[in-house]
């Protein structure tokens, strides 16, 4: 039985984006060299503006054809790029992260936070630029709405630093993933004063 991929993708984004998500889904190839489900059965549930989103940990879709992507609106391209930050191939995650527009949108937050909790350091400088004065409030709100998920993400960052990057960054506080997290937490602490 084939999973309902459209429903899974719709559940990854806020309800008000449903028609845009449906348009994005229409250009995603459903044929694949993989002989298993194109979306992992593992998800993370997060809250964004009181709405629960269910985002897959990994996807295995092939990328759409560029001519099909060119027909999407800017917001639809951002939806596609966010969704493909869940791709199993780290190079595709990096490419899609780079292609995200600079337009601040709260619904992009969980996709970038999830990348912080992964082991691909090369994504951190890109995320660092996207967590800026225009978006810091989104991350602060996300942290407050998802305290358990946030704590898990912080723990993963520290674990991956310890396992893969401690030799390069002997002090955890100098590791870019932690610097980004601390900047968000600092903003949060300052606003509570």
pTM of the model as a whole: 0.92
For the stretch 14-51, pLDDT in tens is 999 999 999 999 999 987 776 678 988 899 999 999 99
For the stretch 93-107, pLDDT in tens is 999 999 999 999 999
**Alpha-carbon distance values, 34 to 6, 59, 60, 148 (Å):** 18, 11, 8, 33
**Alpha-carbon distance values, 159 to 16, 52, 69, 175 (Å):** 36, 27, 37, 12
């Amino acid at each position: 039985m084939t999973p309902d991929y459209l429903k899974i993708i719709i559940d990854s984004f806020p309800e008000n984006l449903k028609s845009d998500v449906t348009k994005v889904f229409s250009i995603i190839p459903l044929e694949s060299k993989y002989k298993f489900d194109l979306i992992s059965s593992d998800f993370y549930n997060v809250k964004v503006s009181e709405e629960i989103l269910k985002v897959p940990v990994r996807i295995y879709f092939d990328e759409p054809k560029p001519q099909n992507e060119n027909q999407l609106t800017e917001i639809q391209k951002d939806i596609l790029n966010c969704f493909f930050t869940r791709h199993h191939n780290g190079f595709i995650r990096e490419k899609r992260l780079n292609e995200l527009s600079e337009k601040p949108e709260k619904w992009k937050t969980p996709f970038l936070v999830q990348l912080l909790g992964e082991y691909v350091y090369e994504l951190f400088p890109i995320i660092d630029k996207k967590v800026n004065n225009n978006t810091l409030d989104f991350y602060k709100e996300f942290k407050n709405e998802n305290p358990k998920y946030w704590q898990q993400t912080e723990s993963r960052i520290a674990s991956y630093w310890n396992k893969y990057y401690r030799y390069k960054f002997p002090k955890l506080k100098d590791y870019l993933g932690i610097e980004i997290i601390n900047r968000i937490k600092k903003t949060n602490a300052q606003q509570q004063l």
